[in-house]
Amino acid sequence: MKTIAAGKFKDVCLKTLDEVATTRTPVVITKRGRPVATLVPYCAPMTRRSLAGSVVKEVGDPFGTGEPWDADAS
């Protein structure tokens, strides 16, 4: 893992971003010799398959009991 001082990182930020994206190796950014941040390559989240959005058509009232209420308009 590569380390770089914050002041130096500020000067070569875009170049370092390109290096991390290309080599896929993280870079630790230090301030006064102490690590303050880690620059890691982006990993797209894995898509999970679910049933969300798969309902084609809803029929009727999914929350109703089927019984008429006094408050219902006749």
Of the listed ranges 2-6, 30-34, 59-63, the least confidently predicted one is: 59-63
> What number is the average pLDDT over the span 12-21?
96
Q: Give me the torsion for CA of 21, 29, 11, 18, rounded to 10°.
A: 0
Domains of the chain: which residue ranges?
2-39
Mark residue 60 as left, alpha or beta (left: phi above 0; alpha: psi -120 to 50; beta: remaining): left
Dump pLDDT digits (tens) for 23-56. Answer: 999 999 999 999 999 999 999 887 777 777 776 7
Q: How far apart are CA 35 and CA 27, in angstroms?
A: 10
Q: What is the pTM of this model?
A: 0.60
CATH 3.40.1620 fits 2-39, yes or no: yes
